[in-house]
Structure 1
Amino acid sequence: MLLKTVLKNHLLIVILALLAGLNACQTPTAPSGQQAGGDSLSKDSIAQNVKEVVYPLPAPFELTQMLNDIGAAYVGKNLNPVNKVEKYVTEKDKAVNLGVYGADLAYATTYNKEEDVKAYLKAVRTLIDALGVNIDYSPLFSDEVKMKANNKDTLVEIITNTFYATYSSLKEKNSPEMAVMMVSGMWIELMYIATHISKDTYNNTQIVTLIAKQKDSYEKLMNLIENYPNHQALKDLDEKLSVLKPVFAKVDQGLTVSDYNLLLSTIEKVRKGFVL
């Protein structure tokens, strides 16, 4: 799978980011389905474990690729318009919408939408600069990318590297709350995209199953948010998203219509507050 190949290629970069200042003492959860036995630790398992320490949620391409794999349509009108980027003036708004635009960029890249890719690359660069994130994002605007904006393999690798580095940089500059806001924006936007593929999404069993599988990422996100009870924006977000705990707690038995509608309305409400 494309994403696994990318993660393997990122091993050295992620380890360097980890050594640069993240909490190396955190013990990551082994990914489900990891083989036991054989080599003591395969490259794939090391890369996955280290990645989870550096970037706490699954990479955005995991969900967008799942949507593509099941034949879900690309609905560009649901993305956050790039002309809003100048509206985001507070640190919180910049951070959360960097995550939102990152999810939109991942979605456009997955579906090889060249013009949207170019537009969201620019929006991402604007917010990275506005936040003063000290990373080298020049690969995003290399001649190779400009010439091959629809080269998914190249873009997935570069974009994923960029967001891992951004998350690391925000934590290193004593802005861990902003790092969590960025991750929150990305998760909310990905869920918004998945739940708005069509007006009749609930009757698409493949998409509903995919949404139900986000239980693990939801729980990881909530654990992150709950680490900052004194940060008002994250405290508010915790209260808004906590209503979904009962939904995801029983998601293994499936999503009822009322469960799905609660999830849908919660995602819409939180996203509206994010994108302004």
Structure 2
Amino acid sequence: MRFSKSICIFVIVAIFTGSVCSCKNKRETESSTTKEPGKFYQHEFRRRLDAVNPGLKDPSAIISLLESTGAEFLPDLINNSGLDSIYLLDSAAAAVNLGIYTVDLVYLIAYDKNEMADVQLSKARKLADKIGATHLYDHGMYNRYRQAGVHPDTLIKYFSKAAEQMEHEYSSMQLLRLYTLFATGEFIEKLHLTSSLLIHAEEHERDYYWTVMLLVFQQERALDQLILLLDQIREQEEGDRFMAMMNDLKLIFMEMTDSRELSGINTQNIAENQLFREMVEQLGYIRNWVIHPTE
């Protein structure tokens, strides 16, 4: 991810506690003022970010959905690659990939893949350490998922409840920037898991996945909102390639969710639908570029 290397220890608090924070609007800065935007702008930005991915509110909701369909665990769906060195050089890349690892971690825990979860947690902690909040990440993970269908004893086993006193203060802009990047990683991985399930499902099982299919289609508006928010937090010409790929994904979604196209899609034929496969392929390009940014 080619975003700048600004970091803040507050980001995990913003991610996991929902504290209100603000972001400097690039366009406002260029046109009229260098001051932090007012509380109304801060609240509105945060509201829009929280509304992204409404059908798939958090990773644990995805896991509950997959389990309710009786979906078997598919190890190839998670990110098994090692930590790219660029993650440890670029805090923005670390934030996006932390979102991906977080979704995968909950997926592993829910299916009792404990050894794999240990490995994934180790990677996630290194990324959290890059943005200065390893212990806060542990604490936040526990609070985020303890009531979401994952057994509390399992969470306690893997996540300590320790939290360090924060030592530095950074701007609200930095808070919301990293939070938005983290949410982007979560969004990518959740959409990857759900769309992959529809591809890999056996034909006789697909009727059980109607809800999954509908949730995937509902992501068009959320994707549009996420792109708008990402565009606000980036500097001029920053992350151009990533934004271009996200906009290409948006165009596929728009065509795929056209009423005429939707009328012919059902759980039995979705895996063979050309536009759906194009969406999955484009999502794969984006995910691979985030995970392997030097390729």
TM-score range (shorter-chain normalised) is 0.5 to 0.7
Structure 1 equivalent of residue 5 of structure 2: none
Structure 1 equivalent of residue 196 of structure 2: 196
- Which of residues 259, 269, 276 is equivalent to 2:275? 259
Q: CA deviation at 1:189?
A: 1.5
Distance 1:15 1:184 in 2: 15
Question: In the TM superposition, what are the counterparts of 1:25-64 in structure 2 within 5 Å?
Answer: 25=44, 52=50, 58-64=57-63
- Report the count of equivalent residues: 229
Q: Is the 8 A contact 1:73 1:197 kept in 2?
A: no
- Which of residues 230, 243, 246 is equivalent to 1:238? 246
Structure 2 equivalent of residue 24 of structure 1: 43
Q: CA deviation at 1:24?
A: 3.3
- TM-score w.r.t. the length of structure 2 is 0.61
Q: Is the 8 A contact 1:61 1:156 kept in 2?
A: no
Name the % identity. 16
Q: CA deviation at 1:202?
A: 7.8
Q: CA deviation at 1:71?
A: 0.8
Distance 1:140 1:82 in 2: 24
Q: 1:140 to 1:184 in 2, by over 3 A?
A: closer
Residue 269 (structure 2) pairs with residue 248 (structure 1): no
Q: Is the 8 A contact 1:100 1:186 kept in 2?
A: yes
Question: In the TM superposition, what are the counterparts of 1:107-126 in structure 2 within 5 Å?
Answer: 107-126=107-126
Q: 1:20 to 1:154 in 2, by over 3 A?
A: farther
Distance 2:134 2:174 in 1: 13
Worse-superposed segment, 232-241 or 97-106? 232-241
Q: Does 1 or 2 have the higher relative contact order (CA < 8 Å, sep 6+)?
A: 2
Structure 2 equivalent of residue 80 of structure 1: 79
The amino acid across from 1:64 in the alignment is I
The amino acid across from 1:77 in the alignment is D
Distance 1:209 1:138 in 2: 31
Q: 1:263 to 1:117 in 2, by over 3 A?
A: same
Q: 1:205 to 1:177 in 2, by over 3 A?
A: farther
Q: CA deviation at 1:247?
A: 1.6
Distance 1:98 1:123 in 2: 9
Q: CA deviation at 1:75?
A: 1.2
Q: CA deviation at 1:74?
A: 0.6
Distance 2:216 2:276 in 1: 13
SS in 2 for 1:260: helix
Question: In the TM superposition, what are the counterparts of 1:173-192 in structure 2 within 5 Å?
Answer: 174-192=174-192
Distance 1:240 1:205 in 2: 29
Q: CA deviation at 1:102?
A: 0.9
Q: CA deviation at 1:128?
A: 1.0
Structure 2 equivalent of residue 272 of structure 1: 288
Distance 2:222 2:19 in 1: 19
Q: CA deviation at 1:240?
A: 2.8
Distance 2:291 2:128 in 1: 16
Distance 1:211 1:54 in 2: 18
Q: 1:54 to 1:137 in 2, by over 3 A?
A: farther
Q: CA deviation at 1:179?
A: 2.5
Distance 1:195 1:227 in 2: 23
- TM-score w.r.t. the length of structure 1 is 0.65
Q: Is the 8 A contact 2:105 2:117 kept in 1?
A: yes
Residue 138 (structure 2) pairs with residue 131 (structure 1): no
Provide structure 1 residue ranges, at least 5 long, that are not aligned to the other structure: 1-12, 30-50, 143-149, 163-168
CA RMSD of aligned residues (A): 4.2
The amino acid across from 1:102 in the alignment is T
The amino acid across from 1:132 in the alignment is G
Structure 1 equivalent of residue 35 of structure 2: none
